[in-house]
Structure 1
Amino acid sequence: MRPVLMTATVPEADRNSVWERGVRQWLAPLRVGFPPGSASCHGTLWAGDLAYVRVLSVQADPVRLGRTASLTASAPAARLALALQVSGTAGLRQDGRGAVLQPGELALLDLRRPFFLEQHRRFRMHLVRVPCAALGAAQGRVERVTGRALRTDGGIAALLEPLLLGLAQQDAPTPARVADRLAGNVADLLASLVDEQTREPGAGPADARRQLSALVRRYIDAHLRDPELSPAGIADAHGISLRYLHLLFEGEETTVRRLIRRRRVEECARELARRQGVVPTISAVARGWGFRNATHFSRSFREVFGMSPREWRAAGGQPAALVARSTDA
């Protein structure tokens, strides 16, 4: 990463305003506050992009960052930021929860909604900023993870901590193919973190029907790229009748075929958002996720997201309603 802002090179009287502009430019539109009597902020901001993921590292005096309701309305951002507190402590509030971040702890910030992050003393923090669409279905559960301090001594968080530390220490330019792969690893791990953190605590074993339904869903996800994937093949793979397979999903307001189609569309949307402006083509992405017919893919995509695949990629992976709100703002 390279330093993109060093207040040591700025006249002391201008440091606070320059720091605020830099944070807003590189992370998101935010309100930046400083402790009473603080004449100037001493800080350095490093930044680098890996395809669609932005990596940031901040070392600075105490500061308070706020993404307010007015900012989310006037400057919407369909992104998430995963933060690693390296030194110092910080108070965090989002979605009705609050926590104190200690060194070595992670926090997930949803830039679509208001939050407040206050660093109590001089600090160092690493962040990765990821498009919400890159998390696929997991982005719908992010609200249950925000406003919490996540320990890094086990689970997916234990894998993310060294990854963030390593990314923050990268000095040499990363080849485009490697950067795209690293961005995918970050997005996949972040989605896995959300999945892990949103499991119901203390839940006992599900009944046989729920267990089988979960197995079928995992099987579908694992075979989405296979254009031959079908309800009959899924039933055979699990040793059940086709009729019983359909019964499993009767209470879930979907059918097996609709679930396969929707999951394929979601994965295509996720890849298109990741690879904005980068090959492969839209038709290649569709084929890669099991769609044989371009017209069928476009129609299915519009049914799920309310826009064509081309419009989705041009909008950076934002749903139609959000794009309309952003345009009207």
Structure 2
Amino acid sequence: MNPSPHRTIHRHRGVTPRRAHPAQTTTTERGNARTRTAKFGDLQVTYLEHGPVRLDTPDRMWGADSSTLRLMVVVEGEVTLRHHEANATLAARDSALILGTSPVAYESLAPARIVLCDLPADNTGLTALPRSAPFVVGRADAAVPCALGAFLLDLLRQDSDQLAPVARAQIADVLRTLAVSTITALAVAGCAGWDLRRQRLAALRHIAARYTDPELSSASVAEHLGLSRRSLQRLFEDEDRTVAQRIQEVRTQHAIARLRDVRLASASLAEIATLSGFGSTVAMRRAVQEATGLTPSDLRREAVTTDPGEHELTPAECERFQIPEE
């Protein structure tokens, strides 16, 4: 059996308790990873250089420590963060703030270099920080995180364990101010977009669960989410379909699947319409014919003459009706 290209690396998570004496800078090599870590007051700065790696097991993930916020800046290469509600791929000069309490998987398919800054979540400057997202991302055009990453890397390149206590304390004060302002700006901007995506996904899930209800509408979805109809509409302003169109498409998708299912060949069109959330066979016929170019009866005849295992939506139809994951 060939060995996996992915190797285990050190897990740097959390901030160790404040010490009476400054911690020394340490350099560690293990497997295909090399790290360098230094403490500046209650901040821990880490440079991490590694080959292909995957951290996706419960005991090797980032973000599950609610007492720590982690700022990451990619120096070189490409890395991916994964969570059950979000995925993001970061290239050089991109940054991410891991601020939620849910574990975040980390993966890189090729060598990469990153800089990490761990800061206690109870820092007085971060008391009002949003915590609605497991992580938020800043792209390369966000100059402040990139500048902070360069500053951190420069600190680690120096022989910082030889710094005098006074100099180390001064650096810690400056670094704390820079880190807090950077983290706050990145989190507030990122969480605003995250909250919108989360509400939009909640609306899509409600539609998927309740499409058979003939009373399902934009108004009922808004009421379920505790939003006004205008607020609900704003969630979908950057998309090409309204909430009403989403409802119609989900119903149409299920109607087409049922009409092509030979096991339902004995069900009447009225029953198929009811099962799919349409108020009448006329409404179903109109929606199905607009989506496929065929009438419901044509779809049924087509299904009888083909292999039952092939009665699925075409790729074009799947793309048209798909509810995207966010």
TM-score interval w.r.t. the shorter chain?
0.3 to 0.5
With the length of structure 1 as denominator, give the TM-score of the two structures: 0.44
Structure with a larger share of its residues in helix: 1
